[in-house]
Amino acid sequence: MYGAAILGLGRVSRGHARALQHAKGARLVAACDVDPSRVDRFTGEHDCAGETDMDRLLARPDVDIVLVALPHGLHEEAVIKAARAGKHIIVEKPMAMDTGACDRMIAAASAAGVQLFIAHTERFIAATRTGKQILDSGEVGRPVMATDVWYQPFRRETRQPWMLDRSRGGGFLQMAGSHMIDRLVYLLGSPVKSVRASVRTVYHPDIQCDDAVLAFMELENGVPCTFATVSYKDTPNAGVEAHGVEILCTDGMVKVDQRRRVFVSRGGHYEEIPVERNEANRVEWDAFTDSIDRGDPPPVPLEHARHVVAVMEACEHSSASGQTVQIA
The average pLDDT across 118-130 equals 97
- Structure letter (DSSP) for residue 47: T
CA 25, chain centre distance (Å): 22
Instruction: Evaluate the CA torsion angle 184, 188, 194, 197 in order and state its sign.
Output: negative
162-206: per-residue pLDDT in tens? 999 999 999 999 999 999 999 999 999 999 999 999 999 999 999
d(CA 219, CA 110): 29
User: If you average pLDDT over residues 275-287, what whole number do you get?
Assistant: 94
* Side-chain-facing half-sphere of 78: CA atoms under 13 Å: 28
Sign of the alpha-carbon torsion through 313, 314, 316, 321: positive
Is the pLDDT score of 277 beyond 90?
Answer: no
pLDDT at 267: 82
Instruction: Give the rounded percent of residues in the chain with a pLDDT score beyond 70.
Output: 100
Residues in CB range of 68: below 8 A, 6 or more apart: 7, 8, 74, 75, 78, 79, 82, 89, 90, 91, 92
* CATH 3.40.50.720 residue window(s) in the chain: 2-119+281-297
CATH pick for 2-119+281-297 out of 3.40.50.720, 3.40.718.10, 3.30.465.10, 2.60.120.580: 3.40.50.720
Name the average pLDDT for the chain.
97
CA distances from 38 to 8, 43, 230 (A): 9, 8, 30
Confidence (pTM): 0.96
Give residue 328's pLDDT.
82
The single-letter DSSP state of residue 96 is -
Q: Which CATH superfamily is domain 123-278 in?
A: Dihydrodipicolinate Reductase; domain 2 (3.30.360.10)
Give phi and psi for 191, each to the nearest 5.
-70, 170
Q: Where in the chain is the domain with CATH 3.30.360.10?
A: 123-278
* Each residue's pLDDT tens digit, 20-66: 999 999 999 999 999 999 999 999 999 999 999 999 999 999 999 99
